[in-house]
Amino acid sequence: MSSSFEKSLAPPKSKYVEHILVATHAGEAGVAEIFRALQNRLRDSTWTIVFKALIIIHLMIREGEPDVTLKYLAQAPARRLAINNFTEVQTQGHNIRTYTEYIVARAKSFGSTRIDYVRNGEGRLKRLSVDKGLLRETEQVQDQIHALLQCDFLSQEPENEITLTAFRLLTMDLLALFHVMNEGTINVLEHYFEMSHTDAERALRIYRMFCRQTDAVVQYLSIARLHEHSTRLEIPKIKHAPTSLGNSLEEYLNDKDFEINRRQYLAQQEAKKSAKSNGSSKLLSEKKETARADASFPDSKPSQPQESKGPAPDLIDFFESIEQNQQPMAQQAPEPFQQQPQIQFPQQTGMMPQQTGFDPNFQSNPFGQQQQPQQLQPNFTGGSQSMLMPNVTGSTNPFRQSAFVNQQTGQGWQGTQGTMGGLEQLETVSVFPRPGQPGAQQPQQTGWSG
């Protein structure tokens, strides 16, 4: 009897999961066939069966053909994820309900934006403009994080292999989503002075939500850090945008001269761009004059181009504290951080460069091969770098079964996990073995500084 109960608490076996993931490469028809087979399990009254079915769906989203499962769910998320009515007092009833709501939130967000922010969101909100939907998409990411933070699997119920497997997947999702939200929040702050009053009010709400969710993420990751050995994830210390600017943002928004200040800022930005353009043209002309003068007077020196005037200091000082008050996500030891070399580049927004808290040399697949570092781009925000995604401390396959190769990526489910730098090209994190690759894990250097 004990052996039978232990088997029921085991996570889904990879020999079954691998065939399911192969079916996702057949497109929507393959996904629809899988969901027809899962319907009875989702409506079962036994919590272990329902929980495993939800894990399968989560793995289809993370490990299957990109976007196919989310696209199928987005057509009717509530109906296609209909589960048996578990009450709060039933075993794992609360966890099943919150897990379902998180997957539904992912599907609804994909239906609105056609973007899977866990697999393809890295860098998107950093580049997106307000006119192109920066505020709307940042809110979409915050909605997903809110739903995920409700999945408190390990505090209310005794831990077991099923809940640990789901918690592991959720933790990896959270690290990816929080990075995307952090990028979006910094971009919102950089464009705050340019926004209309309506957009600025919306941006302030986004920032206040970011502050609240940052505290909740810190707590969630502290629980994940306590279970690192069980989940085989190493939770890094990461940094985020400061959470102390709310009053300053609100004062600017409520200023009776809001429109005057906004027009003044836009005029200064336009003047700065024009001065920069004129300075470049003047420099080119001076170089030509210098070349002609050098032919007759080799000792003559070219005159220096005039430097363009920057924005007013009061506008710069408003956000200067973002760089000065970088905040660590979590601290495990009181020893101070070592100062890292800073790289700063001119910003067109009139703000000081900000630290996103993530290494630009991040590898998209934490279980794949390590890639060469990417060249730093001019929009790197400076400050000390820290890592985001978890590192392997042992076998990363919660199912520990046969090998399997993803037909699209060729990566093994038990492939070696690379370093966890920034999220340059975030993709799904593989968690199963695949044929053609060795089953043993090779430990990697973590690559992140505490």
- pLDDT value at position 276? 74
pLDDT per residue as tens digits for the range 74-133: 999 989 998 888 887 788 899 999 999 999 999 999 999 999 999 999 999 999 999 999
d(Cα 435, Cα 411) in Å, to the nearest integer? 9
Residues 116, 66: contact at Cβ < 8 Å? Answer: yes
- pLDDT value at position 416? 45
d(Cα 179, Cα 174) in Å, to the nearest integer? 8
Structure tokens at 227: 């279970």
Sites in the chain below the pLDDT cut of 70: 1-7, 277-450
Structure tokens at 389: 């995604």
The fold of the 7-245+355-372+379-392 domain, in CATH, is Methane Monooxygenase Hydroxylase; Chain G, domain 1 (1.20.58)
- Tell me the torsion sign for CA atoms 24, 26, 31, 37: negative
Structural domain boundaries in the chain? 7-245+355-372+379-392, 258-316
Scanning the structure block, which residue is given the tokens 């690759």?
437
Structure tokens at 436: 């053609």
- 39: CB partners within 8 A, 6+ apart: none
User: What is the model's pTM?
Assistant: 0.66
74 sits in the region (left: phi over 0; alpha: psi -120 to 50; else beta) called alpha
Cα 425 to the center of its chain, rounded Å: 10
d(Cα 315, Cα 317) in Å, to the nearest integer? 6
d(Cα 367, Cα 405) in Å, to the nearest integer? 13
- 132: CB partners within 8 A, 6+ apart: none
- pLDDT value at position 275? 80
* Three state DSSP letters for the chain: CHHHHHHHCCCCCHHHHHHHHHHHCCCHHHHHHHHHHHHHHHCCCCHHHHHHHHHHHHHHHHHCCCCHHHHHHHCCHHHHCCCCCCCCCCCCHHHHHHHHHHHHHHHHHHHHHCCCHHHHCCCHHHHCCCCCCHHHHHHHHHHHHHHHHCCCHHHHCCCCHHHHHHHHHHHHHHHHHHHHHHHHHHHHHHCHHHCCHHHHHHHHHHHHHHHHHHHHHHHHHHHHHHCHHHHCEECCCCEECCCCCHHHHHHHHHCCCHHHHHHHHHHHHHHHHHHHHHHHHHHHHHHHHHHHHHHHCCCCCCCCCCCCCCCCHHHHHHCHHHHHCCEECCCCCCCCCCCCCCCCCCCCCCCCCCCCCCCCCCCCCCCCCCCCCCCCCCCCCCCCCCCCCCEECCCCCCCCCCCCECCCCCCECCCCCCCCCCCCCCCCCCCCCCCCCCCCCCCCCCCCCC
d(Cα 168, Cα 398) in Å, to the nearest integer? 9
- pLDDT value at position 302? 41
Exposure string over 202-212, b if 16+ CB within 10 A, otherwise e: bbbebbebbbe
- pLDDT value at position 109? 97
- pLDDT value at position 96? 94
Residues 333, 350: contact at Cβ < 8 Å? Answer: no
What type of residue sits at position 54?
A: L
Structure tokens at 415: 């492939």
- Nearest partner of 175 among 136, 129, 225, 140, judged by Cα: 225
Residues 386, 448: contact at Cβ < 8 Å? Answer: yes
- Nearest partner of 179 among 238, 245, 109, judged by Cα: 238
- pLDDT value at position 241? 84
